[in-house]
Amino acid sequence: MSLPLAHMHDPVASPLAGSDLSPDDMRALEAEIHALAREKDAIILAHNYQVPEVQIVADFVGDSLQLAIEAQKAPQSTIVFCGVTFMAESAKVLNPGKRVLLPNLSAGCSLSDSITAESLEDWKARYPEHAVVTYVNSSAEVKALSDICCTSANAASVVRSLPQRKILFTPDRNLGAWVAKKVPEKEVVVYDGCCPIHDVLRTASVNRAKQGKPEAVVIAHPECRADVLEIADEVCSTTGMLSAVGKYPRAKTFIVATEHGIVHQLRRRHPDKEFVIADGCIGCRMHCPYMKMIDLVMIRDALARGKHEVDVPADVAAGARRALERMIAVPRDVPARPASAGPAS
C-alpha cells in the first residue's frame, strides 16, 4: 500500500508537507498506524478530498456513497473515518454496534451547517405533499427528518426512484438544480444552501485554466453552479471523475472542477494525463479547510487512544438509518475499490 516518499506529497497543500517529520519518521508513522489498526481491529476510511498521506494509509478511499457502503459491510469492530463530521455520523448510524472514531472533531462542513432540523421542519410544513430528499452532506438530525438521502453519485437516480412527483431537495441548491434538470418529470423544490468551495467557481476561472489548452476536457462536480456545469464535458461525483477520464483516451489534459484533493487519485490512476484545477490558481480557491484537518499523527492518536468517538442519539439514529438505507438500496454507478489495489486506490 505504501508509496515511495516522493509520491506521498501533492504539490497542493498538505498538513504534513513541510513539517519536521523526516522520511524515516513518515515511514515509521505509517507502519505504526497499520500495526495499531490490526491490533484494534480497525478499518480506515478516507474521502477523496483528504490529503494524500491520509489517502495512502487508508484501507478504502472513495466518495460519500462508497464510504457509507464500506462502513456498513466492514467486518472490523472500529471504523476510523477520515472525512468530516456528517460522514462519521453516517458511519455510526449504519453501524450502531461499532466504534466510530473521527480523528479531528473540528472537521465540519459549511454545507451541512446551512440547514438545521428546525429549518427543515418549517420547510416541510410549507410543502406537506412533497417527499424530502436530503444530500448526505447534512447532519444526522436532518437526515432523520428526511424520506431518503442521496449523494452526488446517485442523486438523480434517488429522485427518479421515488413514487412521489413532488420533491423537496436539500440542502445544496446547485446539486438540486442539476437533479431537477436531469429528472424533468418531477417537480423539484430546492433549498437555498451551497458548498462554498464549489459555489465560488465561475466560468471565467474555468476558461482561464483552459487557456492554451483548447482540447482539454472539463469534468465538474454537480455542486458547481449551473453555468460551470453547462460548459463541462462531464458532470459527476468525485469517484465518477476517476472513471470519466477513461472515456477520453486521446485527451492529454483535464480541467477538474471540484475540491483539489481528488487530483491525487486522478494522478495515481492516470499518471500519463495532466490534471489542472479549474479555478486557475493551483487550487487556492477549490480548497476545503475542513477536509484538510486530519493528518497521520491524528489517525495514530485516534487508534492508540480512542480519539474521538462519535455517537448519535438512538431516536435520531433510527430515522437517519432509514433514510440512508433507502439511499444505499438505490443502484450505484461505481463500486468501491480497495486503496491497496494498485494505482486506482
Dist. CA 238–CA 219, nearest whole Å:
10
Diameter of the chain measured on Cα atoms: 61
3-class secondary-structure state, position 217: strand
Mean pLDDT of 203-225: 94
Mean pLDDT of 94-99: 95
Q: What is the pLDDT of residue 279?
A: 82
Ordered structural domains, the chain, with CATH: 5-108+290-312 (3.40.50.10800), 111-194 (3.40.50.10800), 198-277 (3.40.50.10800)
What pLDDT, on a 0 to 100 scale, did the predictor assign at position 17? 40
Can you give the pLDDT at residue 15? 42
What percent of the chain lies above the pLDDT cut of 90? 81
Amino acid 176: pLDDT: 98
Task: Find the range with the poorest average confidence among 66-70, 239-243, 272-276, 330-334.
Answer: 330-334
CA dihedral 282, 284, 287, 293 (to 10 degrees): 110
Q: What is the mean pLDDT of residues 297-307?
A: 97
CA 110 vs CA 65, 87, 152, 298, 318: distances in Å: 19, 13, 16, 22, 24
Check whether 339 has a pLDDT greater than 60.
no
Q: Inform me whether the pLDDT recorded for 2 exceeds 90.
A: no
Which is higher by pLDDT, 69 or 230? 230
Stated pTM of the model: 0.87
Segment 206-226 mean pLDDT: 95
Min mean pLDDT across 60-74, 143-157, 201-215, 322-336 is at: 322-336
Q: How many helices (H) and strands (E) does the chain have?
A: 16, 12
Whether a cis peptide bond, with omega within 30° of 0, leads into 260 is no
pLDDT band of 18, cuts 50, 70, 90: very low
Least confident range of 7-16, 59-68, 71-80, 227-236: 7-16
Residue 50 pLDDT > 60 = yes
* Residue 338: per-residue pLDDT: 52
Q: What digits encode the pLDDT tens for the residues 231-286?
A: 999 999 998 999 999 999 999 999 999 999 999 999 999 999 999 999 865 545 68
78-82 and 99-101 strand pairing: parallel
